[in-house]
Amino acid sequence: MALSRFLFLGLLALRAYAQDSPEEDVQSTTQSPPNALAVKISTTFPASEFFGVKLINNHPTTAVLSITNSEPAPISVVFIGGSLWLPPSPAVQEPHIVRNLTTTKYDGVEIPAGEEESVKYAFKMELQPQELLLNLAVVVRDAEGGVHTLQAFNETVAVVEPDTSIFDPQILFLYLFLLALFAGTCLFIYNTWIATLFPPTSKHSKNTPGKDASRARTSTKGTRSVNPADQVGVVGADGPAVTTTSGAKAYDESWIPAGHLQRPEARRVKSKGGNKRREA
């Protein structure tokens, strides 16, 4: 199964190389044996955790490939690619590929003899959370022009969803939308069913005769009647303000015009019916 995955990656790399190379170069690359170079590759993931490598959906994952060239001649990196496979299980009898990763072309990355060079490879995908096998392969070219496919990584990784935060704009918009929807629903229920059970009352209906009588009794509480014989006249600048009830008037008439003091006499109106009766 591992050999089939490695051969599949090699074919993908060679096909990508064939699209950018002349026909004679393709013939020379297909005749060169793979893994015939003394090259060591170690792959690390800077963002990985202690419990293993995690591939976060819709987030770029960066792999750092440290390539050590033990050949007497320099080599150059041509392509780096990869794929995700289902891990072996009783239900999986044959190798099954899930997703091909991006194939990145590198120009001018040359590793001298006896030197080590680090190359970064980034990819991004979106899958259901699960455990898969990540297979990475590097296509290198030797000094004679031969192309070789080298395996860089072949281990189990976990595909996970990104961590959500309450300050995420999408989460905040979702919370606001749900809050507005809940408030609108509550307002509709109140206006449709609850408000009809409690009709509004006007201010005039609150002032009942019983309440008015009680307020009048409360306002006159603690007062006592005054004997008219005990009243004393108070004379000021405008004359007496209060007099006794012995017949004198309780106000000063000196400042009132005479026309207003005379009471109009009632006029007698003769009815027409009475005149007719007399004439008859």
pLDDT of residue 71: 93
Beta carbons of 145 and 151 less than 8 angstroms apart: no
- Cα-trace Rg, the chain: 54
Give the C-alpha separation, 154 to 64, whole Å.
Answer: 14
Residue 114 has pLDDT above 70, yes or no: yes
- Grade residue 25 by pLDDT with cuts at 50, 70 and 90: very low
Residue 26 has pLDDT above 50, yes or no: no
Which of 45-59, 160-174, 216-230, 251-265 has the lowest average pLDDT? Answer: 216-230
Q: Among the ranges 45-54, 108-117, 247-256, which has the highest mean pLDDT value?
A: 108-117
Tokens of 234: 């108070």
Q: Taking residues 229-247, report their average pLDDT.
A: 51
Residue labelled with tokens 């590929």: 97
Helical residues (DSSP H) of 145-245, grouped into ranges: 169-189, 195-197, 203-206, 209-219
Contacts of 153 (CB under 8 A, 6+ apart): 43, 63, 82, 134, 135, 136
DSSP 91: T
Q: Is the model more confident about 93 or about 44?
A: 44
DSSP 87: P
45: Cα within 13 Å, side-chain hemisphere: 21
Give the C-alpha separation, 122 to 61, whole Å.
Answer: 5
Residue labelled with tokens 């009475």: 274
pLDDT of residue 278: 56
- Grade residue 279 by pLDDT with cuts at 50, 70 and 90: low
Give the C-alpha separation, 21 to 11, whole Å.
Answer: 15
Q: Look up the pTM and report it.
A: 0.54
- Grade residue 253 by pLDDT with cuts at 50, 70 and 90: confident
